[in-house]
């Protein structure tokens, strides 16, 4: 008899976004006359930048001719894409060697596999509320999860505390779902803690492009000592509209050594065994997105999402509802009104206003009583959602 992974029984029955989608779909089937406005899932709505589209067309054309045709890609990424990533860091004054960059199809893929570098016995600290995959991928691997709770009191930016026992810690800043972002001084505390403990930080930088506050670091490597303790995950999904196109990269610094082993060398070994590289077309698209012109063109879309955030936060302001985020991040994290719990407010909002958000408790127990709006919808739907919110709140 084959033995299945015994840890799956420890997972919740369904993934958060699957559950909210099923409920919204069931509501629509029962009420075909109602149009739901979806501010739940963090999926972009604006098209790719013109330079990215041009790069994709050029790459497709190259694949049509034997002189330019590309077969298997290097498992760790094409040199031009690794250099584009290193240049992106150089813009922030951070020196990353292209050999420390591993090109991937997006953070989701590497979140699932990066755990392969670490023993099952490591305890995993997760700064919550958190993107659910940090917890679920580690539960699947049989690791113990130590929730590190964000609260209204700590501004949803918990810091290391005496007695925190974890060998791996997941951090996301700017945070999904709260929109809260660590300042340089706060993040330095995590870096110093990890170096003192010999722990490793997994830093998710998916939303760095939304940062406007100069005190908020875009990369953990802006902080002294981070290369000795942190792996950084980066994605073009939200910064350049690649959710359906797919491209990202993971940085594993050469200075990251644990038990005498180079994690960078281990990741080279892992990737060269477990992947056959990322599509040439997508790497050309990613390279174009990270040029000055690509970044400039994507900023126009980011401006639209920022405006959506302003529309929603001014509706909340006018009803005196407490919220975080919406500043350095495309998410707004609001207190459910009238002491409602997260799922009750989810149903209330869907039924009364036809607006779908995400219940905060789905991001960790400390998210109970909170709710997330995504600012990635179209400006029209966001304006309509704000109008409906004002009617029911």
**Residue (353 or 372) nearer to ligand PLP, CB:** 372
Residue 313 contacts ligand PLP per CB under 6 A: no
Looking at residue 3, the DSSP 8-state letter turns out to be P
Residue 42 contacts ligand PLP per CB under 6 A: yes
Considering only 49-57, 103-111, 272-280, 373-381, which stretch makes contact with ligand PLP by CB under 6 A?
103-111
Provide the 10 A C-beta neighbour count for residue 3: 5
Residue 219 contacts ligand PLP per CB under 6 A: no
Residue 167 contacts ligand PLP per CB under 6 A: no
Residue in 256, 286, 298, 332 with CA at minimum distance from that of residue 40: 332
Residue in 358, 362, 361 with CA at minimum distance from that of residue 372: 358
Phi, psi (degrees; rounded to nearest 5) at 56: -65, -45
Which bin fits 373, alpha (ψ -120 to 50), beta or left (φ > 0)? beta
- How many Cα atoms sit within 13 Å of 133 on the Cβ side? 15
Number of residues this chain uses to bind ligand PLP (CB under 6 A): 13
Pick the binder of ligand PLP from 172, 230, 288, 290 (CB under 6 A): 172
Report the nearest approach of ligand PLP to the CB of residue 62 (Å).
25
**Residue (130 or 315) nearer to ligand PLP, CB:** 130
Considering only 106-114, 146-154, 332-340, 353-361, which stretch makes contact with ligand PLP by CB under 6 A?
106-114
Binding mask 226-255 for ligand PLP (x = CB under 6 A): ---------x-x-----x----x-------
Are the CB atoms for 232 and 203 separated by under 8 Å? yes
Instruction: Say how far apart CA 175 and CA 158 lie, in whole Å.
Output: 12
| Residues from 174 through 193 that contact ligand PLP (CB under 6 A) | 176
Phi, psi (degrees; rounded to nearest 5) at 236: -90, 5
Considering only 61-69, 70-78, 105-113, 282-290, which stretch makes contact with ligand PLP by CB under 6 A?
105-113
Instruction: Say how far apart CA 361 and CA 84 lie, in whole Å.
Output: 38
Return the axis-axis angle of helices 107-114 and 263-274, rounded to nearest 10°.
110
| Joined tokens for residue 173 | 């800043």
Report the nearest approach of ligand PLP to the CB of residue 180 (Å).
13
Report the nearest approach of ligand PLP to the CB of residue 237 (Å).
3
Residue 20 contacts ligand PLP per CB under 6 A: no
Pick the binder of ligand PLP from 102, 131, 193, 267 (CB under 6 A): 131
> In this structure, are strands 248-251 and 230-235 parallel, antiparallel, or unpaired?
antiparallel
Residue 129 contacts ligand PLP per CB under 6 A: no
The Cα angle at residue 45 between residues 40 and 50, in degrees rounded to 5: 155
**Residue (98 or 112) nearer to ligand PLP, CB:** 112
Binding residues (CB under 6 A) for ligand PLP: these are 42, 106-108, 131, 172, 176, 204, 206, 235, 237, 243, 248
């Amino acid at each position: 008899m084959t033995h299945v992974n015994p840890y799956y029984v420890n997972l919740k029955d369904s993934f958060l976004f699957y559950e909210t989608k099923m409920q919204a779909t069931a509501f629509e089937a029962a009420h075909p006359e109602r149009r739901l406005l979806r501010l739940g899932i963090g999926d972009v709505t604006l098209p790719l930048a013109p330079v990215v589209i041009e790069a994709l067309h050029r790459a497709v054309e190259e694949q049509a001719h034997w002189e330019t045709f590309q077969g298997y890609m290097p498992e760790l990424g094409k040199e031009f894409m690794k250099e584009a990533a290193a240049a992106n860091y150089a813009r922030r004054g951070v020196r990353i060697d292209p050999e420390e960059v591993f090109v991937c199809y997006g953070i989701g893929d590497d979140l699932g596999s990066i755990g392969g570098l670490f023993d099952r016995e490591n305890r995993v600290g997760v700064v919550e509320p958190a993107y659910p995959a940090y917890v679920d991928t580690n539960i699947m691997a049989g690791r113990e999860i130590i929730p590190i709770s964000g609260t209204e009191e700590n501004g949803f930016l918990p810091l290391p505390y005496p007695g925190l026992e974890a060998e791996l810690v997941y951090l996301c800043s700017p945070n999904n779902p709260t929109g809260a972002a660590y300042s340089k001084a706060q993040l330095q505390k995590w870096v110093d803690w990890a170096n003192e403990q010999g722990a490793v930080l997994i830093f998710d930088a998916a939303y760095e492009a939304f940062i406007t506050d100069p005190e908020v670091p875009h990369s953990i490597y802006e902080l002294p000592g981070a290369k000795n303790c942190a792996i950084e995950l980066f994605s073009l999904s939200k910064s350049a509209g690649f959710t359906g196109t797919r491209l990202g990269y993971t940085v594993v610094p050469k200075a990251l050594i644990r038990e005498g082993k180079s994690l960078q060398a281990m990741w080279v070994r892992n990737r060269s065994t477990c992947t056959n590289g990322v599509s040439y077309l997508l790497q050309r698209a990613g390279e174009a997105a990270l040029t000055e012109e690509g970044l400039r063109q994507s900023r126009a879309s980011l401006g639209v999402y920022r405006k959506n955030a302003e529309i929603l936060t001014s509706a909340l302001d006018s009803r005196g509802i407490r919220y975080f985020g919406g500043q350095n991040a495309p998410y707004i994290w609001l207190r459910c009104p009238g002491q409602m719990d997260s799922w009750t407010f989810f149903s209330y909002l869907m039924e009364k206003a036809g607006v779908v958000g995400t219940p905060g408790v789905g991001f960790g127990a400390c998210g109970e009583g909170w709710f997330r709006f995504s600012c990635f919808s179209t400006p029209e739907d966001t304006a309509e959602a704000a109008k409906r919110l004002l009617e029911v709140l």
